[in-house]
């Protein structure tokens, strides 16, 4: 749906605006004027006050005039056939409200149709994640997702074959790991124990004759050596106790008290066969590797989340490609600028929101309320070009007091893709038959 004309009557005064089917820039309007115009534009589609009339074009190409005269019935007329079609848009009380047909009230519609500079620069965490994933090479991103899914399916299949849960594979893997660590520490402790036994015994036995035949210092050195060897043996024994405790904790998770008992009992069906156990452990290892590769690409975002919001990510990636194409035509380098990319994505995302929001999934115009205010001049050019491209399929009304946007619109209006409305030079008041805005 597109606005063609808006007429506002207030007693003897008449205010009229003609809209470009694509992009209309209304320049030189301050905050209060922008607020009022937004209210009237949204109100023209809802149960607005009397005196607000609008001409619109539906996405199908049909043109309608919405009349709200004072003291008379409000109605909708098909301009092309000159027939009254009010019944198609009126509720049970005869009120003409196009927004209500779409399930919208004026407040909600105003919030969704209008985009301010704050809306443009503010993004939810969800949107940030979508944009971040959209910046990843699609083949790499979705290839990593498929590997995680395939690995998970392999784990599920292996677990099902043994009658267990997929989580049991991690339990088995931990038990095997802890047991290997315990055996390694135990072997080292045994070697240390033997060495310390012989060294300690030799030192202790040699200490007495050394004290009697040689001197006391040598005897003390031998006693100290025996103590050191004993200390080393003690440390190795503590390590073995710690490793055994870690193994026991892993076994406890599987409901076993000893490693032998673990292999003798069924742990949720994991030990139906040795080959099945090894297959499940191998599948679990592959899943861990796939998840690590995915994390290197997507950070803390889980693969299932990406799958759930795949369409959003793909749409954001497409919007990113549009921006890059725009950058090449405007000679502005934005690939290294996260800010410009994010802002362009936010603009296109809001356009997407209002694309099918109207009655019968009609598109509605996006109203920009000085949305580029505060941005660097160099950042505005690619964003404005994005708006021109997007307006080919969806109408945009840009209200602003930004001189950069005004100057751009004056030049762009020469191409016919943009219309600019500016205050009249004489700032004439709005009276019947004239209005203070003129086409540039």
* Three-class SS of 323-382: HHHHHHHHCCCCCCCHHHHHHHHHHHHHHHHHHCCCHHHCCCCEEEECCCCCCCHHHHHH
Indicate whether 152 belongs to any domain: no
Total of domains in the chain: 1
DSSP run (H or E) holding 155: helix 138-162
Residue 22 lies in a domain: yes
| Range of the structural domain that residue 420 is part of | 2-137+312-439
Report the distance separating Cα 320 and Cα 26, nearest Å: 28
Measure the CA–CA gap between 70 and 52, rounded to whole angstroms: 10
Six-digit token string for 18? 């003609």
Q: Cβ(136)–Cβ(297) under 8 Å?
A: yes
Residue 95 tokens read as 């009120």
Domain membership of residue 281 (yes or no) is no
What is the pTM for the complete model shown? 0.60
Strand partners for 326? none
Nearest to 243 by CA among 294, 285, 187: 187
336-344 contacts, C-beta under 8 A, 24 or more apart: 337/379, 339/379, 340/379, 340/382, 340/383, 341/131, 341/135, 342/123, 342/131, 343/120, 343/121, 343/375, 343/379, 343/383, 344/319, 344/320, 344/382, 344/383, 344/386
pLDDT attached to residue 334: 46
Low-confidence ranges of the chain (pLDDT < 50): 167, 207, 264, 266-271, 332-338, 427-435
pLDDT given at position 266? 45
Answer yes or no: is 170 within a domain. no
pLDDT of residue 174: 64
Residue 195 lies inside a defined structural domain of this protein: no
Q: What's the confidence (pLDDT) of residue 284? A: 83
Type and span of the H or E element at 84: strand 83-84
Overall size of the chain counted in residues: 440
Whether residue 75 lies inside any domain: the answer is: yes
The enclosing domain of 26 has a CATH number of 3.40.50
In a domain, 279, yes or no: no
Q: Please give the pLDDT value at position 337.
A: 46
In a domain, 254, yes or no: no
């Amino acid at each position: 749906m597109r606005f063609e004309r808006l007429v506002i009557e207030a007693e003897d005064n008449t205010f009229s605006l003609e809209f470009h089917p694509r992009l209309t820039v209304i320049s030189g309007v301050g905050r209060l004027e922008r607020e009022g115009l937004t209210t009237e534009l949204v109100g023209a589609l809802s149960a607005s006050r009397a005196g607000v009339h609008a001409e619109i074009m539906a996405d199908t190409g049909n043109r309608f005039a919405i009349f709200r005269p004072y003291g008379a019935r409000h109605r909708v007329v098909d301009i092309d056939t000159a027939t009254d079609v009010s019944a198609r848009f009126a509720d049970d009380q005869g009120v003409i409200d196009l927004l209500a047909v779409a399930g919208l009230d004026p407040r909600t519609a105003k919030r969704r149709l209008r985009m301010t500079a704050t809306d443009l620069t503010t993004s939810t965490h969800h949107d940030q994640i979508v944009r971040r994933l959209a910046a990843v090479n699609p083949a790499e991103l979705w290839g990593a997702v498929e590997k995680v899914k395939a690995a998970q399916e392999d784990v599920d299949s292996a677990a099902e074959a043994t009658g267990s849960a997929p989580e049991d594979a991690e339990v088995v893997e931990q038990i095997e790991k802890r047991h290997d660590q315990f055996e390694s520490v135990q072997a080292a402790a045994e070697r240390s124990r033997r060495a310390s036994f012989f060294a300690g015994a030799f030192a202790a036995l040699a200490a007495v004759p050394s004290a009697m035949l040689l001197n006391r210092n040598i005897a003390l050195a031998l006693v100290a050596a025996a103590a050191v060897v004993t200390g080393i043996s003690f440390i190795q024994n503590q390590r073995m106790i710690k490793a055994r405790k870690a193994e026991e904790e892993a076994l406890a998770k599987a409901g076993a008290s000893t490693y032998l008992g673990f292999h003798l009992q069924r742990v949720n069906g994991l030990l139906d066969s040795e080959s099945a156990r090894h297959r499940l452990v191998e599948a679990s290892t592959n899943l861990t590797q796939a998840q690590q590769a995915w994390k290197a690409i997507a950070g803390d975002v889980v693969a299932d989340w990406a799958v759930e919001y795949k369409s959003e990510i793909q749409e954001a990636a497409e919007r990113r490609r549009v921006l890059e194409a725009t950058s090449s035509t405007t000679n502005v380098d934005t690939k290294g600028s996260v800010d410009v990319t994010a802002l362009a994505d936010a603009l296109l995302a809001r356009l997407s929101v209002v694309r099918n929001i109207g009655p019968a999934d009609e598109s509605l115009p996006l109203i920009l309320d000085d949305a580029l205010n505060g941005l660097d001049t160099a950042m505005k050019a690619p964003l404005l070009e994005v708006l021109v491209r997007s307006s080919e399929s969806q109408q945009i009304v840009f209200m602003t007091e930004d001189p950069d946007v005004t100057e751009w619109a004056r030049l762009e209006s020469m191409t016919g893709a943009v219309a600019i409305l500016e205050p009249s030079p004489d700032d004439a008041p709005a009276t019947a038959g004239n209005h203070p805005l003129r086409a540039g």
